[in-house]
């Protein structure tokens, strides 16, 4: 895969606001290993930059925030250990986003699915255009299993019933339903959302920094107390990723071969 196909996560700081842009437009910003590594490095830069007041994350192109992880990369998996290592890696990165010591705002346009939904749920605030399609449709696409920590975030934000709608039925949630469920704070027209989110990020310059940080970290402690151990879903992660169904689903994406779910 060429550097251009690998995509990138652009990082800039402007007027105290750190902007992270997922840029792989031709693939709806689906994440590659390189992009995950860049996100990790940018999180470290934010943690070490006292001039950063708030963080805004968005996708390039206006059609997607992030459309999950690039499925072609799963063709390399050969064992349950590969699957567990991958989910641990995603847990680390999404957890790092969740624990950034600054307010984080997700600007969501179009598709926000799979790993993109996990990243968005780790942000403190989510703002969406009317085109939002939010979900984790793995029951329709790959037949894999998320980590229990990422499932916990979905349940925390959307509730048990809607989490089952997203994970078991594989349904995508539109902007109005996402707003009603509390998944997004506001729906803003595409022409206005960049300015509006910028204004909300800049507003943190007028907030007490220690109070903002204390609130974020104490809330996180409450969430951590309620969550199950990170390895509590390892058995199902290994089972799903090593199944015939998963291998056939990946092969369908890579080689355009038809298949039927078999439950094994």
* Cα first-last separation, the chain: 31
| Cα 179 to Cα 173: distance, rounded to the nearest angstrom | 10
Is residue 257 in a domain? no
Is residue 123 in a domain? yes
Q: Which of 158, 79, 75 is CA-nearest to residue 118?
A: 158
pTM: 0.95
Query: What is the number of domains present in the chain?
Result: 1
Q: Which of 132, 75, 129, 95 is CA-nearest to residue 254?
A: 75
b/e per residue, 47-62, with b = 16+ CB within 10 A? eeeeebbbbbbbbbbe
Is residue 124 in a domain? yes
Q: How many CA atoms lie within 13 A of 215 on its CB side?
A: 9
CATH of the domain at 50: 3.90.226.10
Regions of the chain where pLDDT drops below 50: none
Predicted confidence at residue 78, as pLDDT, reads: 86
Predicted confidence at residue 75, as pLDDT, reads: 87
Quick one: which H or E segment has residue 263?
Answer: none
Is residue 142 in a domain? yes
Is residue 249 in a domain? no
Predicted confidence at residue 1, as pLDDT, reads: 52
Note down the domain range covering 32. 3-206
**pLDDT tens, residue by residue, 40-61:** 999 999 999 999 999 999 999 9
Q: Which of 82, 109, 237, 97 is CA-nearest to residue 153?
A: 97
Is residue 87 in a domain? yes
Predicted confidence at residue 5, as pLDDT, reads: 81
Is residue 241 in a domain? no
């Amino acid at each position: 895969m060429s550097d251009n196909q690998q995509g990138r996560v652009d990082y800039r700081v402007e007027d105290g606001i750190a902007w992270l842009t997922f840029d792989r437009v031709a693939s709806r910003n689906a994440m590659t290993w390189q992009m995950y590594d860049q996100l990790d490095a940018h999180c470290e830069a934010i943690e070490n930059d006292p001039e950063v007041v708030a963080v805004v994350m968005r996708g390039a192109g206006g059609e997607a925030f992030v459309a999950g992880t690039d499925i072609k990369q799963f063709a390399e998996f050969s064992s349950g250990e590969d699957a567990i290592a991958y989910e641990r890696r995603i847990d680390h990165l999404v957890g790092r986003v969740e624990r950034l010591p600054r307010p984080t705002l997700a600007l969501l346009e179009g598709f926000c699915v799979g790993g993109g939904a996990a990243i968005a749920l780790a942000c403190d605030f989510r703002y969406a255009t009317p085109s939002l399609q939010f979900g984790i449709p793995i029951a329709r696409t790959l037949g894999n299993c998320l980590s229990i920590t990422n499932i916990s975030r979905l349940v925390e934000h959307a509730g048990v019933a809607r989490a089952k709608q997203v994970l078991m039925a594989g349904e995508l949630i539109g902007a109005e339903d996402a707003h009603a469920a509390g998944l997004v704070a506001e729906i803003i027209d595409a022409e206005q959302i960049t300015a509006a989110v910028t204004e909300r990020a800049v507003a943190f310059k007028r907030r007490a920094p220690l109070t903002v940080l204390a609130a974020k970290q104490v809330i996180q402690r409450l969430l951590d107390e309620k969550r199950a151990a990170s390895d509590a879903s390892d058995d199902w992660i290994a089972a799903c990723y090593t199944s015939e169904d998963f291998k056939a689903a990946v092969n369908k994406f890579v080689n355009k071969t038809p298949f039927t779910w078999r439950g094994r």
